[in-house]
Amino acid sequence: MCGIIARVGDSDDAVDELLTGLENLEYRGYDSAGLAVKNGGGPNVFKREGEISRLKTALDDEAPSGGLGIGHTRWSTHGPPTDENAHPHTGCGDRVAVVHNGIIENHDQLREELQARGHVFESDTDTEVIPHLVEEHLAEGATAEEAFRRTVRRLSGSYAVAMLVEDSDAVYATRRGSPLVLGVDEGEYFLASDVPAFLDFTDDVVYLDDGDVVVAEPGGHVITDLDGNSVERTVKTVEWDPEDAGKGGYDHYMLKEIHEQPAALRQTLRGRADPATGEVTLDDFPPGTFDDVERVQFVACGTSYHAGLVGSRLLGTRGVPSQAFLASEYATSPPPVDGDTLVVGVTQSGETADTLAALRQAHAAGARTVAVTNVVGSTAARECDDALFIRAGPEIGVAATKTYSSQVVSLALFGERLVRDVTGSRSDDVERLLQGLADLPGQVQQVLDYSKARRVAKQYRDSDAYFFIGRDTVHPVAMEGALKFKEISYEHAEGFAAGELKHGPLALVTPNTPVFAVFNDRDDEKTLGNVKEVEARGAPVVAVAPEGHEEVVQHADEVLTIPDTHPDVTGVPANVQLQLLSYHAADILDRPIDKPRNLAKSVTVE
């Protein structure tokens, strides 16, 4: 995700204000931090791998003074967390310093062009192409502002960028697809990824639109479009308490992270799938990467295991032999593995001891390993042969929400790469599947806008237990729904394969145990049969189902509706409904939602 900030003012205390801003943005990333400050002359850059405290310590020895500065806190997407990959990035001549949040999709091509013209790169980041391009335009005689505009025109992907240039007293900034807000105070300006960054200094804010270009100097600021035409933006006063601001106005990180899912999913998908051509592009996994793979094993724990189950089903139904294992069981009683086996560790943190143990076990037995993770510098990413990053941005709430959705989408993309390499042909339904993935951000937004999960949670708040059922790709969703429910509400909840209900659990079903039945438009009549069994025992039924299922509506007491989509991805919006249900159930019961008892975000013991 990353956070950026810029400060423009007459007084020389840019460093202090930038550091305060970065601390308030740390929730957006904490792999590395850096800043650049100007006091006449060129930008002075300071950056460190690790948390902001390390940058602060470095600045204790030689804090520069200046009124103009930019800062960055990083959540790695290109290259590991190192001093070199930390922002700000500079060009060859150190005349330009840039901070960036987002993904420059054409960075490979730009880097090649620039290298062919003699530019030398110091980092692995996509961002570094920006200062090199600006530098070239400056050398051609362009002003700093022209050089900035020309450079931005060359970028594709998503970005919020702020720049300092030698011999200019302005900060230049723009956005497309990544957030950027302008804070306005007397004689001072701030540009940042989010309002909390500067809430200690001003609460007057301009929300910028995609394509806006801001030039801010101590004497004033101008907002234009990319062609230089002036645009009008109104200043609004925000009424957030700085203490709550990290939660973006939400009561809990979990709710904020549930609401971040449309943006997280866009980030996961960006540049990786084209529904029109059926092409999947995963930078580190070109076609043929997995030609010698014959079977796939997923290893994971908890919520990530549920994502692994979905990944395994997607492969199995497309002709790739595949199984998902609980990592703790895998490490204890490993299945047969050889050099043709690919073992995929699904772990948002990349630090879960059980998953690491399973991956090490598989590696020692000769398997090839891949980590599917959210954390670029994590142990799983470093120890596995390869890594696929899910790009969900930091997750602070202990209960995994947005990382689950981004894991499922990443596994669907990765799965298609595997299907092609292992079976030699594309999935029959690939265009439809990729369109289903592309539609997810909008569909999840729809669920967030219209969900009636809070009312349902209230209605069944005094129940004895809560059961969740589903089959096929929504069986893992039923399991995940139950896990989330028990984890944060402390109420008894269980998830079952719909067909298994009658083989035992049905004995527990009573009028005081609501059953949440998840449908995905495949074999729905069978799940409906299971719902009728429940109905006959007098239990309330809440269906989580795609729109327009008349028969489901007839047999359900309540319906949590989800948009109609490819059955293999229906589980994502369905799970968002269940995340909201769990959240509201826990909120009504006044549970400590972000830090449930006995649990930790990263479980580093076996």
Ranges within 448-507 binding ligand F6R (CB under 6 A): 483, 487
* Whole-angstrom distance, CA of residue 444 vs CA of residue 402: 11
| Shortest separation between residue 301's beta carbon and ligand F6R, angstroms | 4
Can residue 399 be called a binding residue for ligand F6R (CB under 6 A)? Answer: yes
Q: Which stretch binds ligand F6R (CB under 6 A): 43-51, 108-116, 342-350, 507-515?
A: 342-350
> Closer CB to ligand F6R, residue 423 or residue 604?
604
Can residue 348 be called a binding residue for ligand F6R (CB under 6 A)? Answer: yes
* Whole-angstrom distance, CA of residue 315 vs CA of residue 295: 10
> Closer CB to ligand F6R, residue 355 or residue 473?
355
C-alpha dihedral sign at 269, 275, 281, 285: positive
> Closer CB to ligand F6R, residue 149 or residue 391?
391
| Shortest separation between residue 539's beta carbon and ligand F6R, angstroms | 26
Residue 427: which residues within 8 A CB-CB, separation 6 or more? 318, 416, 419, 433
- Which residue in 73, 125, 158, 349 binds ligand F6R (CB under 6 A)? 349
Ranges within 259-318 binding ligand F6R (CB under 6 A): 301-304
- Which residue in 352, 379, 443, 527 binds ligand F6R (CB under 6 A)? 352
Can residue 347 be called a binding residue for ligand F6R (CB under 6 A)? Answer: yes
Rounded (5°) CA angle 51-56-60: 155
Yes or no: say if 157 and 271 are a contact pair by the CB < 8 Å rule: yes
- Provide the CA 309 distance to its chain's centre, in angstroms: 20
Q: Which of 2, 38, 402, 484 is catalytic?
A: 2
Can residue 580 be called a binding residue for ligand F6R (CB under 6 A)? Answer: no
Can residue 35 be called a binding residue for ligand F6R (CB under 6 A)? Answer: no
Compute the residue count for the chain: 606
Least Cα distance to 148 among 182, 173, 178, 167 occurs for 173
Yes or no: say if 171 and 164 are a contact pair by the CB < 8 Å rule: yes
Strand partners for 170:
none
> Closer CB to ligand F6R, residue 223 or residue 301?
301
Ranges within 518-577 binding ligand F6R (CB under 6 A): none
| Shortest separation between residue 405's beta carbon and ligand F6R, angstroms | 12
Long-range CB contacts (< 8 A, 24+ apart) of 110-118? Answer: 110/154, 110/155
**Bridging pattern class, strands 181-185 and 273-274:** unpaired
Environment class of 145 (CB within 10 Å of its CB; exposed 0-12, middle 13-18, buried 19+): middle
Strand partners for 562:
546
> Closer CB to ligand F6R, residue 1 or residue 301?
301
Q: Please indicate whether residue 2 is annotated as part of the active site.
A: yes
Q: Which of 56, 502, 595, 601 is catalytic?
A: 601
| Shortest separation between residue 305's beta carbon and ligand F6R, angstroms | 7
Can residue 603 be called a binding residue for ligand F6R (CB under 6 A)? Answer: yes
Can residue 255 be called a binding residue for ligand F6R (CB under 6 A)? Answer: no
| Shortest separation between residue 3's beta carbon and ligand F6R, angstroms | 22
508 DSSP assignment: G
Distances (CA, A) of 250 to 242, 245, 292, 314, 452: 13, 8, 48, 35, 18
- Which residue in 400, 413, 515, 562 binds ligand F6R (CB under 6 A)? 400
| Shortest separation between residue 484's beta carbon and ligand F6R, angstroms | 6
Residue nearest to ligand F6R (CB): 302
Give the pair of three-digit tokens for residue 333: 């009683």
- Which residue in 355, 443, 451, 561 binds ligand F6R (CB under 6 A)? 355
- Number of residues this chain uses to bind ligand F6R (CB under 6 A): 15
* Whole-angstrom distance, CA of residue 327 vs CA of residue 341: 16
- In 140-192, where does DSSP find H-type helix? 144-154
| Shortest separation between residue 543's beta carbon and ligand F6R, angstroms | 24
| Shortest separation between residue 336's beta carbon and ligand F6R, angstroms | 24
Residues that bind ligand F6R (CB under 6 A): 301-304, 347-349, 352, 355, 399-400, 483, 487, 602-603
Residues identified as active-site: 2, 601
